[in-house]
A and B are shown apart, each in its own frame.
Chain A
């Protein structure tokens, strides 16, 4: 199975900050990577697909990069609604594993 390692597991930030979350795959997944945002009690929401493509309706302050094994999600100019938990997911090979999540909290 492909292991997806996300870091950090939690981060404290302030409104207006820029935050970067990293995700490392245990083997090459090219760009078969997606990022999701989840708020308490809600379903995950797709933010980024194909490692760097912004899902329709998602604000442009979200961006993704990377290929192969190393990926990043960057959120620029954090807004109050961005405080949530973020997950990466590889969809290259079954089982389609998720990272452990990054919980973003208000400083």
Chain B
């Protein structure tokens, strides 16, 4: 059974840092691209960052570029999000999500999601 389990959330002051982790199991982790998606309280979903299966291709949303760093440790089946210079508007539940492709790369989707970890930025 595919499982994604996030951890590392909590309360942090503005300007502070936090590192989120996502542990994958039940699938060949190093074969899958991964993403972080967040959801502010009462709001919709916002894509945050992407990393390729080998970690050599990375993308960020403009809202976090220069402050957040995505990485992965394939031998440990783990995905990370280092969050620096945190702001109140970064308060959200953060989900990790696995990428799945349909056909011969005809389309992609996020087929498995973790349960999310809450990050609260407040003084």
Size of the chain B interface, CB-CB below 8 angstroms: 24
For the residues of A in contact with B, the DSSP-based class is loop
User: Within 8 Å CB of B95, what residues of A?
Assistant: 43-44
A7 vs B14: C-alpha distance when bound (angstroms): 35
Q: Is the CB of A49 within 8 A of B45?
A: no
Take A43-B116, A100-B44 as given contacts and tell me if A95 and B107 are in contact as well, using a CB distance cutoff of 8 Å: no
In the complex, the chain B residue whose C-beta lies closest to that of A49 is B109
Which residues between 100 and 115 of chain B lie within 8 Å of chain A, taking CB atoms? 100, 102-103, 106-111, 113-115
Q: Is the CB of B108 within 8 A of A91?
A: yes
Stretch at the interface among A16-24, A28-36, A70-78: A28-36
In the complex, B59 has a CB within 8 A of chain A: yes
Contact with B along A36-68 (1 / 0, CB 8 A): 101000111110011101010000000000000
Whole-angstrom distance between the Cβ of A85 and the nearest chain B Cβ: 8
Q: Is the CB of B108 within 8 A of A31?
A: no
In the complex, A96 has a CB within 8 A of chain B: yes
What residues make up the interface of B, taking CB atoms closer than 8 Å to A? 35, 37, 44-47, 50, 59, 61-62, 95, 100, 102-103, 106-111, 113-116
